[in-house]
């Protein structure tokens, strides 16, 4: 295949590390930032491979309609026969936790009990069905934004009626089973080309906003928030790989939490995955290196399968 690697995104800050890595590898690439963008439905797309990095949190940066625009753009590319990495089906999962959980459950992957609700009264009724603490979060957000732990329905009611509450961008709230881990941590498993790359231990002591990108880095603390796990093994890895393949997801981070009984619950698929540079530097690995090699191989081989494209 000739042409370039076209990076579709709406966040220049998050896209910058990938664009730099592509340049350093000498790979031809183009920046398709869909904040201000247009395309001709009747024209053929340019040659190359198209990699979607559309984010569910676009609306928090003032780009409310970029995901909807990107969905149309990806559909057009696919209809024209272009090679797309993380296409329209993947974006649909990125934008809806409900869709994610339904897809995970179809593959026998355990997810926390979750009740979607539309409107204040339905949200409170859903909360009443939980015994003990529960999580409330938007169906579409990203970065862990808007995720809160509540001890009671009255506490949720006060939040919904208070100044901090913002209606989710798609209107849908999720009430979810609270999984209590023995220690404040979750695990994020990274995949490139549909194949396991590494796993990250994430400290949740400070809350649920778990963005690993360098742009989200917090001031130094005694304990690193992100730490790559040496020699990570889990029976979930091959199950996740099959799930990704069946849903056309080639690049993703999947997050799970383990309770005191050792039961793992998968609760998030992030197809606009970022890598934490401090954690990678300590472990001597590079997600961007793996990702750019994968994209370069796809560009060279055209229709290479994810596993073929990441090898070598």
- List, as one string, the DSSP characters of 116-170: EEESHHHHHHHHHT-SS-EEEEESS--TTTT-EEESSHHHHHHHHTSTT----TT
pLDDT beyond 90 at 116: yes
Q: How far apart are CA 223 and CA 302, in angstroms?
A: 43
**What b/e string do you get for 221-259 counting C-beta neighbours within 10 Å, with b at 16 or more?**
eeeebbbbbeeeebebbeebbebbeebbbbbbbbbbbbe
pLDDT beyond 90 at 145: no
Q: How far apart are CA 312 and CA 309, in angstroms?
A: 8
Q: How far apart are CA 216 and CA 134, in angstroms?
A: 26
Task: Map out the domains of the chain with their CATH numbers.
Answer: 4-94 (3.40.50.20), 114-177 (3.30.1490.20), 181-310 (3.30.470.20)
What would the pLDDT profile of 87-108 be if each residue is shown by its tens digit?
999 999 999 999 999 999 999 9
The larger pLDDT score, comparing residue 8 to residue 147, is at 8
pLDDT beyond 80 at 216: no
Q: How far apart are CA 78 and CA 281, in angstroms?
A: 37
The reported pLDDT for the residue numbered 215 is 36
pLDDT beyond 50 at 207: yes
- pLDDT band at residue 213 using 50, 70 and 90 as cut-offs: very low
SS3 content of the chain, % helix, strand, coil (to 5): 35, 25, 45
Please state, for a pLDDT cut of 70, what percent of the chain lies above it.
90
> What is the rounded average pLDDT of the residues 143-170?
91
């Amino acid at each position: 295949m000739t042409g370039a690697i076209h990076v579709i995104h709406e966040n220049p800050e998050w896209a910058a590390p990938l664009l730099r890595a592509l340049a350093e590898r000498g790979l031809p690439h183009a920046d398709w930032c869909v904040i201000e963008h247009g395309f001709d439905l009747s024209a053929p797309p340019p040659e190359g491979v198209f990699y979607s990095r559309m984010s569910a949190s676009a609306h928090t940066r003032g780009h409310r309609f970029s995901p909807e625009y990107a969905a149309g753009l990806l559909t057009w590319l696919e209809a024209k026969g272009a090679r797309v990495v993380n296409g329209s089906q993947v974006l649909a999962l990125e934008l809806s936790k409900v869709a994610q959980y339904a897809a995970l459950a179809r593959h026998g992957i355990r997810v926390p009990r979750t009740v979607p609700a539309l409107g204040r009264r339905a949200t409170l009724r859903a909360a009443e069905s939980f015994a003990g603490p529960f999580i409330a979060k938007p169906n579409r957000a990203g970065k862990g934004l808007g995720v809160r732990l509540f001890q009671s329905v009255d506490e949720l009611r006060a939040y919904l009626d208070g100044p901090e509450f913002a209606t989710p961008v798609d209107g849908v709230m999720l009430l979810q089973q609270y999984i209590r881990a023995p220690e404040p941590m979750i695990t994020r498993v990274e995949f490139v080309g549909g194949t396991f790359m590494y796993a990250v231990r994430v400290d949740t002591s400070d809350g649920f906003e778990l963005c690993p990108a360098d742009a989200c880095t917090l001031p130094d603390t005694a304990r690193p928030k992100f730490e790559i796990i040496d020699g990570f093994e889990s029976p979930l890895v091959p199950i996740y790989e099959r799930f990704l393949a069946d849903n056309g997801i080639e690049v993703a981070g999947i997050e799970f939490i383990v309770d005191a009984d050792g039961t793992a619950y998968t609760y998030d698929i992030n197809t606009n995955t970022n890598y934490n540079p401090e954690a990678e530097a300590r472990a001597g690995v590079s997600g961007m290196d793996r990702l750019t090699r994968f994209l370069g191989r796809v560009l060279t081989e055209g229709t290479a399968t994810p596993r073929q494209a990441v090898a070598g």
